[in-house]
Structure 1
Amino acid sequence: MTSTVSQPVTSAPAVDPARWPDVARVPHVPLRAAVAGRLLHRVAARRGLRVELPGSRTLHPAPPGAPVLRLHHPRAFLHRVGESGLIGFGESYQAGDWDSPDLVALLTELATAPETLVPTGTQWLRRFYVQRPPSGELSTAANARRNIHRHYDLSNDLFALFLDPTMTYSSALFPTGPDPEPKATWNGLAPAQHRKIDRLLDLANVGSGTRLLEIGTGWGELALRAAARGARVVSLTLSEEQLVLARRRIAAAGQEERAEVRLCDYRAAEGEYDAVVSVEMIEAVGRPFWPEYLATLDRVLAPGGRVALQSITMPHDRMLASSRTYTWILKYIFPGGLIPSVRAITETAARHTRLRVTCAGAYGPHYAETLRLWRERFTEQSAQVAALGFDEVFQRMWELYLAYSEAGFRTGYLDVHQLLLTREEVTA
């Protein structure tokens, strides 16, 4: 039985098959599509979703205010999901097969206990559609620069459209205690980014004369604030776009003698430093290379030094479950990476280095608010994004990425931690 709804007619974006081959291609997998259809019925009923179909129909009754999945092209949606699961779900959004008037609300519902979406007895079906990450995206020394290029070298102008003036692309820290207010404001974002940076620098005891290594430059704001404290900063990046702008910003601030940015893989880091900081870099390293990454921090750290890391994290069991899965985020947004758990960082450091995690502070709700502000800014700037040469498929991809990430933090599926690692010094 179906009910009628008021549904606007929308046109699908034009998909360039040369640029978006898997978005342009609609697979034909009837049996798997039928399974996806049954799963959609189950998820909608159990999660209270309103699934709207063409012709002003709904899949089944839903409670008032239910999150909405609006299917414009149900057949394409089911065949994509049937073929490749969540990758197909994301590609279907890029193609315009489905939409939602409140994308974050829908994704938040789906991100709540995601392991319960598929019936326990059918988990074995995963092997028919779950892909393994391709070896060409493994973050080896040879591949890492290409992986970083695909995201961070898109365009400095693109990032400037939705980031605040500090050009900080990581979680802010709002001045509201453990949880931010329901609606943080855009005007408060830059101060909140400085608050985050300052807390990390304080954690590493960065001050006048500190020899500081930063792994992952971003666009230079942390290096600038550390240099303003009197530290001598060496910052490493693999992004050529970020390198150019970070150096320009450092020169404009008159800090060239205190802050140096190098195009360099973390594995090639040289020197000895009183402090090492790294903000949301370990996620790009990839699980096979966490030992080498943490061993590098240990190698360059001077006696008595401190390492301060900021990392997106997920529960350990979910990290293990996803560690060999090729996801939509890996395919289109962050190739080669994996979000770690705090336990994984702690155990890897203990097993492969002399470093020990001695402090860990979480503030995931602040990231949800940061992402909301970025997402709203990004969608407001759609005309400017298009003027930079990014088509509608790209824009829908980034809207989904930002909304998906926000939903992850709102449910607690994702978190963000600032971690302090120190070394137990051996005395003779």
Structure 2
Amino acid sequence: MARRLGIRVMLPDGRVLGGTDQQTPLMRLNRPEALYRRFGAFGPIGFGESYQAGEWDADDLAALLTTVAGHLRSIAPKPVLWLTRFQARGRRSLETRNTPWAAARNVRHHYDLPEELFALFLDETMTYSAAIFPTDAAGRPQADEAQLPAAQRHKIDRLLDLAGVGPGIQLLEIGTGWGALAVAAARRGAHVHTVTLSVNQCRAARMRAAEAGVADRVRVELCDYRDIRPHRAGGYDAIVSAEMLEGVGGEFWPDYFTALDRLLAPGGRAAIQTITMRHDDMLATRAKDTWIHRYIFPGGLIPSVSAIEAACRRHTRLRVHRVGSYGSHYAATLRLWRERFDRHADDVAALGLDRAFQRTWHLYLAYSEAGFAAGHLDVEHLLLDRAS
């Protein structure tokens, strides 16, 4: 099986299965019986939990997972795929559904960790979404750590340009982050209303706007997207939302897009950046309790473009235009975040976050990077408008 997955596996006695090529990613089994028990009982979730527990390791976890992801779809027999779906089906707790009362708790599970943690692996812009880097002649992103702040600002400018944000524009941002996009829009002369459910991010974004001298043009509100009320009749000239849709939850996508339609002024434009997956993969995972859902992002679901188009067509007047896809750029962004996170392991520990937390987040970053590198995930810029 190791050879079919394109990896090597080292047993506790030092034997290596799967070949001798030193360039092939190596998985080290520390406590194989424990790994087998977890995987047998809980499937992919157990595989992740086994890594958290230190029962297996890898010299290059992202390379290992990317290789496995590239081989898995073609070799896994359908009964096995069905079994892993069955094992997890129905385990999503009703408490993690992104109802209005639960959404804030789900957001805070992730985003109200110490801000210092995010500052250790994000760049100076504190932007927690895919950057867009310069590319070579073949279209490959040319990414290094020094370029990351500029690549994040370039992404923000693309979204603002797509939404038509300029002087005097009334802009709504759904999902504040730490305020980089709101500040950039205000510097263009826009009046920004930005909403978040994270207490920490709300406080940080207000401070950032004040430090940038644009607090008079940026209103940061702790608010659910379903409860947004425009501060002027007619709605907003533009709406921007960067990687917030994934956290909404599939059953609430109609609510999300209905809110956009309700809040957007006639002739207005909405620019959305969202992670996407293939439609069949989305259908297979929407009822599953995945490892990411359980430990990192409760309540969310990555959409397909088809699902977005269907939700807009059925519930709104909005049209969806695909503007660009940047999956390879997200793989590069995640690689830089992972490298910075690992380099600051001592600083993470100093925040009171133990070794189990560090292994969990190392797996989260490597797992996400592998999804984009193997092509299972993408990230899209979408323009939403209405027919005139």
The secondary structure found in structure 2 opposite 1:173 is coil
* 1:91-240 equivalences in 2 (<5 Å): 91-112=49-70, 114-126=72-84, 129-132=87-90, 133-176=92-135, 179-181=139-141, 184-240=143-199
AA in 2 matched with 1:80:
R
* 1:363-378 equivalences in 2 (<5 Å): 363-378=326-341
1:78 Cα deviation after fit: 0.5
Distance in structure 2 (CA, Å) of the matches to 1:417 and 1:45? 34
Give the number of aligned pairs: 382
1:116 Cα deviation after fit: 3.6
Structure 1: stretches of 5+ with no match in the other structure = 1-41
* 1:342-361 equivalences in 2 (<5 Å): 342-361=305-324
1:65 Cα deviation after fit: 1.9
User: How much identity, in percent, do the aligned residues show?
Assistant: 56
Distance in structure 2 (CA, Å) of the matches to 1:167 and 1:333? 19
The residue aligned with 1:88 is 46
Distance in structure 2 (CA, Å) of the matches to 1:190 and 1:128? 43
1:343 Cα deviation after fit: 1.1
Q: Kindly indicate whether the alpha-carbon contact (under 8 Å) linking 1:180 and 1:369 is maintained by their aligned counterparts in 2.
A: no
Are residue 313 (structure 1) and residue 273 (structure 2) matched? no
> What per-residue deviation string (whole Å, max 9, x for no partner) do you get for residues 276-324 of structure 1?
0000000000000000000000001000000000000111111111111
AA in 1 matched with 2:76:
V
Q: Kindly indicate whether the alpha-carbon contact (under 8 Å) linking 2:176 and 2:195 is maintained by their aligned counterparts in 1.
A: yes
Seen in structure 2, the aligned counterparts of structure 1 residues 310 and 212 have a Cα distance that, compared at 3 Å, is same
Greater CA drift, 272-281 or 116-125: 116-125
Structure 2: stretches of 5+ with no match in the other structure = none
1:128 Cα deviation after fit: 5.3
1:45 Cα deviation after fit: 2.9
What is the TM-score normalised by the length of structure 1? Answer: 0.87
1:57 Cα deviation after fit: 1.5
Distance in structure 2 (CA, Å) of the matches to 1:184 and 1:126? 36
Distance in structure 2 (CA, Å) of the matches to 1:360 and 1:344? 17
1:338 to 290, 301, 311: 301
The secondary structure found in structure 2 opposite 1:274 is strand
The residue aligned with 1:300 is 263
The residue aligned with 1:265 is 224
Distance in structure 2 (CA, Å) of the matches to 1:335 and 1:415? 20
> What per-residue deviation string (whole Å, max 9, x for no partner) do you get for residues 214-235 of structure 1?
0000000000000000000000
1:121 Cα deviation after fit: 4.0
1:362 Cα deviation after fit: 0.4
Distance in structure 2 (CA, Å) of the matches to 1:134 and 1:344? 23
The residue aligned with 2:246 is 283
Seen in structure 2, the aligned counterparts of structure 1 residues 113 and 275 have a Cα distance that, compared at 3 Å, is farther
The secondary structure found in structure 2 opposite 1:318 is helix
1:196 Cα deviation after fit: 0.2
Distance in structure 2 (CA, Å) of the matches to 1:290 and 1:348? 7
> What per-residue deviation string (whole Å, max 9, x for no partner) do you get for residues 66-91 of structure 1?
22111000011100111111111111
The secondary structure found in structure 1 opposite 2:88 is coil
Distance in structure 1 (CA, Å) of the matches to 2:143 and 2:306? 30
The residue aligned with 2:15 is 57
The secondary structure found in structure 2 opposite 1:278 is strand
